[in-house]
Amino acid sequence: MSTGFVPCFRHYRFDRYPIDAALADRTCRRKLAALLTGMLEAQGVGDLCQRFGVGKSIVPIRPTDAESKRIIAQADYPGQIYRIDYGNTPLRILFGIQNEPRIIHLLMVDTQHETYSGKNRR
C-alpha cells in the first residue's frame, strides 16, 4: 500500500487567507510543520489525526448548512474538503485529498477562525 502524500498549494486561497499570517505565528508554524510531516507518511485522513497527532479532529465538510456551502464555494475545490480542528484555538486548516496521484491540497489556513466561527459566521 502506498504511504504518504505530497503537499500542494495549487488550490490555496492566498487572496483570502494570506500564508504570511500563518507563518508569523509560532504556534501555527508548529502545527503546519506537524501537518506537513504527517502528510509525508500518512496512509489516509484518519491517520493524520490518530497516528501523527494533527489537530483535535479532522472532519469532512458536507453541504448541509449555509456555512458549509459558503466554505465549499469559497474553496472552489473539486473534491472532498476536510477541516482540521485544533480545539480551543482560532486556527482551522482546510484541505482536500487526492489518492491518485497521492496529493494533499492545502486550501486555507484560517488563523482568525473565519470558517465555522460560531457567533461570527458570515
Which grid coordinates belong to 60? 469532512
pLDDT given at position 120: 42
Please tell me the pTM assigned to this model. 0.86
In this structure, how many other beta carbons lie within 10 angstroms of the beta carbon of residue 26?
8
1 is a domain residue: no
Structural domain count, the chain: 1
The residues facing 76 across adjacent strands are none
Task: Tell me which H or E stretch contains 39.
Answer: helix 26-41
Q: Give mean pLDDT in consecutive 10-residue pieces for the chain, a chain of 122 residues.
A: 85 91 89 91 88 89 90 91 89 91 93 62 42
**Residue range(s) defining the domain that contains residue 25:** 6-111
Q: Is 120 a domain residue?
A: no
Q: Extract the C-alpha cell encoding 110.
A: 484560517
Residue 119 covered by a domain: no
122 within a domain of the structure (yes/no): no
Q: What is the CATH number of the domain that holds 46?
A: 3.30.2310.20
